[in-house]
């Protein structure tokens, strides 16, 4: 790019009004509104904890950072491995989960305009602020020398992303101002807003405002926009869908970097057709992930998988009989007082306490204190049985 870069270089900012994209947006709204409608709030929050870890795993995996789910689980308990490189990835994972947790709570750091530079910089700052210095050094555009990144600060040097030369650092402010203006959700219809989430995902990556972390910031940004629109929730993750179609995700992102391909490809500098195809892919991935989570969270089927697991554990003498009665109670009620264990199991008080303690020790039930009510938990050991294909089997 030349030093005089007009913001029109990233036009068009939205695909044209299109029945295909509108239909996908309508489908996403309907399915997202019905997701896990029968789950109680305590169970929903426990599942949300699990989904945040899953989202972190897949978002980092897209960047080539393969942190095992078990190591992520340990990081959340401040249990870090000795190997420095793996420990860094654990810290990175914990930071990602903490950022998404704030977004899921709907706080957004009290920033009202979610398409503003302020909000995007805040995501980056919160993600990187407590990470070790080893993760703050990135290669310069020459591929040899390294630069130290500052959390929450736009880059002050130039970068290339594959074949794409991102806007020059000195022009970032005007490109981000145009980004904020173009994706002002308050001026759009409901369907346009959802399509704008998809389009803005690409255009933010095209601008590439940071030296590093742009992919994860963009995915957290998209999650925040969907959450803000009451389409996204803490119960599903677009990152899982991107990671499972990683090659296609990156190919379509790269294709949308291309310049206009002739007179039938819009009137902007970039390809309108390629932007449309990326938005279509984005919305289809969202729908696929809502469908997936709806299928594994269907109450009767989830309870059935839980019961089969408990039956196997009882048969192997790893859990007491009637353990499932306590898990089922937590499933339906959200939580129950410890003193109700005897009533729920039909055991006398002493045996009921033994059964309850076994479930707590195995991590299947948890509570805030030693005396407070207990609720369901999802330790890493049960995930494949209770939530099939949540993570890659390997």
Residue 139, pLDDT > 80, answer no
Residue 320, pLDDT > 70, answer yes
Q: pLDDT-derived band of residue 162, with 50, 70 and 90 as boundaries?
A: confident
Find the domain containing 188 and state its range: 12-295
Residue 141, pLDDT > 80, answer no
Q: Where is the domain boundary, 276, 295, 314?
A: 295
Q: Where is the domain boundary, 250, 274, 295?
A: 295
Residue 49, pLDDT > 90, answer yes
Mean pLDDT of the 317-345 span = 97
- In the chain, where does DSSP find H-type helix? 19-34, 41-62, 69-76, 84-104, 117-128, 172-182, 190-207, 214-228, 238-244, 246-255, 272-296, 299-315, 323-333, 341-345, 349-361, 383-386
Measured distance CA(277)–CA(76) in Å, rounded:
38
What pLDDT is attached to residue 54? 96
Between the CA atoms of 304, 305, 309 and 314, what dihedral angle is there, to the nearest 10 degrees? 0
Q: pLDDT-derived band of residue 393, with 50, 70 and 90 as boundaries?
A: low
Candidates 4, 75, 15, 5; CA nearest to 278 is: 15
174 and 106 share a domain? yes
Q: For all residues of the chain together, what is the average pLDDT?
A: 94
Residue 133, pLDDT > 80, answer yes
Provide the token pair at 104. 């899921």
Q: List, for residues 67-102, the tens digit of each pLDDT value.
A: 999 999 999 999 999 999 999 999 999 999 999 999
Q: pLDDT-derived band of residue 208, with 50, 70 and 90 as boundaries?
A: very high
314 and 238 share a domain? no
Q: What total of structural domains would you count in the chain?
A: 2
Query: Is residue 393 assigned to a domain?
Result: no
Query: Is residue 4 assigned to a domain?
Result: no
DSSP 303-330: HHHHHHHHHHHHHTTSS-TTHHHHHHHH
What pLDDT is attached to residue 394? 53
Q: Report the relative pairing of strands 164-165 and 160-161 from DSSP bridges.
A: antiparallel
Q: Are 100 and 52 in contact (CB under 8 A)?
A: yes
Domain CATH code at residue 318:
1.10.10.10
């Amino acid at each position: 790019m030349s030093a005089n870069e007009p913001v029109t270089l990233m036009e068009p900012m939205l695909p044209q009004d299109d029945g295909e994209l509108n239909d996908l947006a309508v489908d996403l709204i309907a399915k997202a509104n019905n997701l896990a409608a029968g789950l109680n709030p305590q169970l929903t929050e426990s599942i949300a904890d699990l989904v945040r870890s899953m989202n972190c795993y897949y978002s980092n995996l897209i960047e080539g950072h393969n942190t095992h789910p078990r190591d992520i689980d340990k990081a959340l308990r401040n249990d870090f491995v000795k190997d420095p490189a793996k420990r860094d990835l654990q810290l990175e994972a914990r930071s990602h989960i903490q950022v998404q947790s704030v977004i899921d709570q709907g706080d957004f750091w009290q920033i009202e305009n979610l398409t503003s530079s302020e909000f995007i910089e805040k995501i980056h700052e919160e993600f990187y602020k407590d990470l070790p210095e080893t993760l703050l050094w990135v290669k310069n555009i020459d591929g040899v020398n390294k630069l130290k990144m500052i959390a929450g600060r736009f880059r002050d040097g130039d970068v290339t992303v594959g074949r794409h030369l991102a806007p020059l650092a000195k022009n970032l402010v005007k490109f981000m101002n145009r980004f904020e203006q173009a994706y002002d959700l308050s001026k759009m219809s409901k369907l346009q807003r959802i399509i704008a989430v998809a389009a803005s995902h690409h255009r933010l990556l095209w601008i590439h405002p940071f030296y590093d972390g742009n992919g994860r910031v963009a995915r957290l940004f998209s999650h925040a926009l969907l959450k803000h629109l009451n389409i996204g929730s803490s119960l599903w993750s677009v990152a899982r869908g991107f990671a499972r179609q990683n090659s296609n995700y990156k190919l379509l992102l790269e294709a949308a970097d291309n310049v206009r391909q002739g007179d039938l490809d819009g009137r902007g500098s970039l390809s309108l057709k390629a932007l449309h195809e990326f938005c279509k892919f984005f919305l289809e991935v969202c729908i696929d992930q809502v469908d997936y989570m709806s299928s594994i969270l269907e109450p009767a089927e989830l309870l059935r998988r839980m019961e089969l697991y408990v039956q196997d554990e009882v048969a192997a003498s790893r859990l007491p009989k009637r353990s499932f009665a306590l898990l089922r109670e937590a499933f339906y009620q959200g939580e129950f007082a410890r003193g109700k264990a005897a009533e729920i199991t039909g055991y006398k008080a002493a045996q009921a306490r033994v059964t309850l303690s076994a479930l707590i020790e195995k991590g299947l039930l948890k509570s805030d204190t030693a005396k407070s009510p207990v609720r369901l938990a999802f330790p890493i050991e049960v995930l494949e049985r209770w939530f099939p294909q949540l993570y890659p089997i390997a």
